[in-house]
Structure 1
Amino acid sequence: MTTKVLICDDSGFARKQMARSVPDGWDVEISFAENGQQAIEQIKQGNADVMFLDLNMPVMDGYQTMQVIKEQDLPTMVVVVSGDVQPEARTRMMKMGALDFIRKPVDNKKLTTILTQYGIYTGDGKATERAKTAPPAEKTTDPLTEKLDAYREMANVAMGQAGEKLAQLLNQFIDLPIPNVNLIETTELHMAIAEISRNESVSAISQGFLSAGISGEALLIFNDSNFANMVKLLNYKHTKLNNQLELEALMDVTNIMVSACLTALSDQLNVKFTHNHPIVLGQHCGLDDLLNTNVSRWNRVLAIEIGYAIKSQSINFDLLLLFPDRSIDLMFDKLVKVVE
C-alpha cells in the first residue's frame, strides 16, 4: 500500500534533500509544502499519511502547524526535521504529538530507525535510487534564487547547532529566526543590515576562518543594552558590569557560537576550517564604522545575518557570516553535491 508523504520546509534545497533521503524500498507518493499553512491544506486533502515538518518557516512555522494538527485532530504522523535541535524545541513538539525529531541534514540510518520504530516502514534504509526518482521539490530556473536558497539552508543548519550550544551554556531557550541571506556589493552591506543596530551603540568581535578555497569572517554583534543580562546568565564571579566583563562575555559567546557554526559548515561543505583568534572590532561604537573598516577589501559578499534572541531575558544579538566573492560559487558547488 502506497504511503502518502508530505515534506514541509520553506527551503527547496531542504525539500529536495529530504525527498532523496527517503528509503528506496518504501512505497511512497511524495508531495511538498513551503509552509505550515500549505501543509494543513495538504493534510486535509489526504496527502499526508506521514509528514516531515521543519520548524523555522514563514507564514506558519512548525510549532503553529503542530498546534493546528493537535487542535483539529488532523490525520497525519509528524516527524520533525529541523536545524533547531534544542531539547526544549524537541519537548514542545513531542508534547503536541510529533512522533520524533531528526537533526538536519537528514541521516538515512536515523530516519530508517524512526520509521521502523513506529511501524511505518521496515526494510533497507538505502536511498541511492531515490535520488534518481524523487520528484522535483521546486520549479525555478533562476540560478541566483537557487543559490540563495542553498546558502540559507546551509546557514539554517549552522544556526541551529550554534543555538543548541548556547542553550546548553546558558540553560535558556534560544529563539532562532529564518536566516537573512543576501548577495550584495560590499558598498551596500551597511544598508542591507541596517536593522541590526537600529542606530544603537554596539560592540563586536570578528573571527576569520579559512579552508581550501573558502574563506570568510564571522562577526558577533551585541547591542550594548544586552550586556547586563548576558553577564548574569554567564554566572561570572564578579558581576559588577564594566568594560572588561563585557569583553569577556563577548569573547565567551563568540567562541561558542563561531566554533559551532564552523563545525556545521565544515560538515556540510566537506572541508576543514581553521580560524584566527577573535579580534575586538570595537566597543560602544557605531556598526557602520565596524563594517566599513573590516570588509572594504572585498568587492561582492555573501552576507548571512542570524538574529538570535533569548526572550525571557530580553537579549538580542546578531551573528553575521560574510563570505567574499571568490568563495561563493565554490560553496554552492560543494552544497549541490550533497543532493545529487
Structure 2
Amino acid sequence: MDDAIPLLVCDDSSMARKQLIRSLPANWPLRISQAEDGRRGLELIRQGQGRIVLLDLTMPEMNGFDVLAQIRDEGLPAEVIVISGDVQQEAIRRAKELGARAFLRKPVDAAELAGALLALGMEPAAARPGAQEPQHLLPSVSFRDAFRELSNIAMGRAAELLGRVLKVFIRLPVPNVNLLEAAELQMTLADAQGNHRVSAICQGYIGGGIAGEALLIFHDSAIADVAGLLDSELDSSSHPELLLDLAAIITGACLSGLSEQLGIQLSLGHPLLLGQHCTIDELIRLNRPRWQQTLAVEISYALEDHDIHFDLMLLFTEDSVARLQQRVEMLHDLQDHRP
C-alpha cells in the first residue's frame, strides 16, 4: 500500500464515519485514518495522514470551519470534501470560501462521493484489489451515537429552513441524546431555562410504534427580537401566533427529517402553548405524569449576530426506545447497544 493515498475521515459520529468508509469506492488505493474531532483531525493532517479529508462541520473541540481555516493558514497539503448535516446556504458558502473543494449533504450518496473524489484527480483504474481498508477497522456504533447522528441531520434540515425564513445564519450544536428519568429531565429543562422566563410549545407525534412530544422552549426576552427579524409587530394577541408559527417550522422540519431517515411516518398533533410565561418548575409540574422516563434529544439553536437562543427537545416515550433501536439497527446494520 505504499502508493495508497492517505484519506482522513474526520467526524465526531462513529456512525457517520462508518457510513462514509462503507460509501468509498471499492478497491480504490486509499489508506484510511479516522478522527473524532477537528483538533485530532488537524494533528493527523500535519502527520501526512490526510491528503484527502472528508470533513464534518459540527464537531466538539474544533468545528469544521475552524479546521478549514487552519489548513488554509498553515498551508497544509490537504484536499477537503465537506460532508455535513448543516446544509444552510451560508454554511456551504463559508466552507467553500475557506477552501473546501466540494460540499456533500448527509447522509452521503456513494455516487456523489465518488464523483467528488474523481474531481480531485483520483484514478480508479489505478486501484489494486485489497487496497481498501479492512472491514474490521470500521468503528463500532452504539444506538445513542446512531440516534445522535440521525438527529444531527434532522436538526440541520430544520436550521436550513428556519435560516431562510429569518434570513440569518443558525449556529448548530452537537445534539445531546440521553435516556432520562423525570428528575433528570427536570434538571435538563432547568439548564435550558437558566435565569430566564420561558414560553414553550408542545406538540405530540406518533407513528410506526413510536410516540413522543416535541418541546420548543423560547426565552420570553427573545420573542420580540424574532418578531423584528420577521418585520412583525408583537402584541399580546400576536405573541402566541408567532410562537406557533415558529414551532411549525422547526418541529415539523426536524421530525420530517427523522421520519425520512427512519423510514416511518410520524403524524403531528396540534401544537399547544404550555403555560405561557411560566417557569420551568411550573412546566414540569403540569407535565410530570407524562415524563416518567424519556429518551431525550436536546438541540440548542443560536442565531448568529443576534442574542436569540431557543431549545428543541424531542421526548420519546420509554415504550418507543425498543422500536427506535430496531429501526436504527435495521437501517444501518448496527450492533445491539442499549442507550
Q: Same fold (TM over 0.5)?
A: yes
CA distance in 1, matches of 2:117, 2:207: 37
Map of 1:223 onto structure 2: 219
Label 1:327 to 1:176 Cα distance change in 2 as closer, same or farther (>3 A): same
Moved more, 13-22 or 160-169: 13-22
Q: Deviations over 1:42-88 (max 9, x none)?
A: 11111112111111111111111111100001111111111101111
Contact 2:6 2:30 in 1 (8 A): yes
* Range 258-267 or range 186-195, more displaced: 186-195
Amino acid aligned to 2:280? L
Q: Which residue of 2 aligns with 1:50?
A: 52
Q: Does 1:283 align with 2:283?
A: no
Q: CA RMSD in A?
A: 1.8
**Contact (CA 8 Å) 1:180, 1:304: kept in 2 or not?**
yes
- How many Å apart are 1:118 and its aligned residue? 3.0
- Give, in angstroms, the shift of residue 226 of structure 1: 0.2
Alignment of 1:14-29 (within 5 A): 14-29=16-31
Superposed displacement of residue 200, structure 1: 1.6
| Aligned-partner residue type, residue 154 of structure 2 | A
* Paired residue total: 325
The CA distance in 2 between the partners of 1:167 and 1:89, in whole Å, is 11
Give the corresponding residue for 2:181.
185
Runs of 4+ in 1 over 3 A off after TM superposition: none
Structure 2 SS opposite 1:193: helix
Verify the 8 A CA contact 1:150 1:332 in the aligned structure 2.
no
- Structure 1 counterpart of 2:266, which letter? F
Q: Does 1:255 align with 2:251?
A: no
1-structure distance, mates of 2:123, 2:183: 53
User: Contact 1:208–1:276 (CA<8 Å) still a contact in 2?
Assistant: yes
Unpaired runs of at least 5, structure 1:
124-129, 141-145
| Structure 2, unpaired ranges of 5+ | 126-131, 334-339
Equivalent-residue separation in structure 2 for 1:244 and 1:299 (angstroms)? 34
- Residue 243 of structure 1 aligns to a residue in which SS? coil
How far 1:122 sits from its partner (Å)? 4.8
The question of whether the paired residues in 1 share the 8 Å contact of 2:143 and 2:328 is answered with: no
Partner of 2:95: 93
1:204 is aligned, of 200, 204, 207, to 200
Which shows bigger deviation, 193-202 or 318-327? 193-202
Residues in 2 aligned to 1:326 and 1:121: alpha-carbon distance in whole angstroms: 50
Q: TM-score, normalised by structure 2?
A: 0.91
Match of residue 296, structure 2, among 303, 311, 319? 303
Which residue number in structure 1 is paired with residue 331 of structure 2? 338
Q: Is the 8 A contact 1:199 1:286 kept in 2?
A: no
Matched, 1:235 2:214: no
Say whether 1:213 aligns with 2:209: yes
- The Cα shift of 1:132 comes to 8.2
CA separation of 1:210 and 1:131: change in aligned 2, threshold 3 A: farther
| Aligned residues with identical type, % of pairs | 42
Correspondence for 1:314? 307
In structure 2, C-alpha distance between the alignment counterparts of 1:122 and 1:90, rounded to whole Å: 28
Among 110, 113, 116, the residue aligned to 1:111: 113
Q: Which residue of 1 aligns with 2:154?
A: 158
